[in-house]
Amino acid sequence: MRPANAGIAERFIKPNDRLSAFERLQIYNQQYWWRLLGALGEDFRGLRAVLGEGKFEKLAVAYLEACGSHSWTLRDLGSRLVAFLAERPEYTCPRTDLALDVARVEWARVLAFDDPEKPTPKAEQIAQTPPDRLRLQLQPYLNLLELGHPVDELMRKLKRTGAVAVSNAVSIAAPRQRETVSIRRSRAPIHLAVHRANFSVYYQRLDPEAFRLLQALRSGATLADACATAFAENKKPPEQIATDIKEWFARWMEFGWFSR
């Protein structure tokens, strides 16, 4: 805080026998700043592990200075971090691609944990609607990601070591990371669903066709059009495609991914 604000502080805060109004406000400001840094570090522990403590702290300070919180809840603090990383690769170089993938998964995890759940449609309603007229919505908490790295494996490994929690709202402070962790880039894109069940967050890998089908449904396509988009470049026989779709829908209905 700037000393020029001392007069403003005196309007709202009383001094005591040890501190002026401005000095008391400075203490609050410093504690609030450390709380923001701590909350960001808690929600992005995987990114901390990839970058290391020193590099992550520099990133966090730069991010908060550029993208300060405008929300009443700390849950939204990291909402612009992925975009910031893409625009400012100097804070993550030479691991920018990995850092982006990790940050995307960790923000998706926050959304999966906190976003609302809508009522699910009944199986009978779905079965009775022709595919060329059936439009299915996806749950708000379901996040679909295409990644270049097996971040789900990294997150499970970090969780086993106690380095990752679900959200800063329910997390416990983790020990400082002295060493960085890394994973190799995958040979093929990884399609990942980040979702919630019974107040826990899970990762579910998807076939490329299943990923495209869900994306098409989310964009508003009918089931018939979504299936056509998903299998446009697939050479499987129609019988196998029908079997795949049936198995996927049975699993997704069980997970509760569809909403009304």
Residue-level pLDDT at 160: 83
Compute CA distances 105 → 1, 32, 102, 196, whole Å. Answer: 34, 27, 5, 13
State the distance between the two ends of the chain, measured CA to CA, in whole angstroms.
49
Beta bridge partners of 137: 259
Residue-level pLDDT at 174: 46
Residue of 120, 83, 96, 97 lying closest to 195 (CA atoms): 120
**What is the three-class DSSP state of 147?**
strand
Q: State how far the Cα of 169 lies from the Cα of 73, in Å rounded to an integer.
A: 10
Residue-level pLDDT at 224: 97
Query: What are the structure tokens assigned to 135, written together?
Result: 């439009």
Residue-level pLDDT at 180: 87
- Could you write out the DSSP letters of every residue in 153-211? HHHHHHHHTT---S-TTT--PPPPP-S----PPPSS-EEEEEEEETTEEEEEEE-HHHH
| 126 within domain boundaries | yes
| 36 within domain boundaries | no
| 172 within domain boundaries | yes
pTM, two decimals, is: 0.85
Residue of 201, 190, 39 lying closest to 112 (CA atoms): 201
| 25 within domain boundaries | no
Q: State how far the Cα of 247 lies from the Cα of 242, in Å rounded to an integer.
A: 9
| 106 within domain boundaries | yes
Residue of 216, 215, 218, 234 lying closest to 226 (CA atoms): 216
Residue of 1, 46, 36 lying closest to 21 (CA atoms): 1
Type of residue found at 153: E
Return the DSSP state at 127: H
Burial class (CB in 10 A: 0-12, 13-18, 19+), 130: exposed
The number of folded domains in the chain is 1
Q: Which domain holds residue 82?
A: 44-259
| 19 within domain boundaries | no
Q: What is the mean pLDDT for each group of 10 consecutive residues in the chain (260 residues)?
A: 57 70 65 89 96 97 92 94 98 98 98 96 93 97 99 92 51 53 95 96 98 98 97 92 96 96
| 8 within domain boundaries | no
Q: State how far the Cα of 143 lies from the Cα of 106, in Å rounded to an integer.
A: 11
Return the DSSP state at 3: G
| 193 within domain boundaries | yes
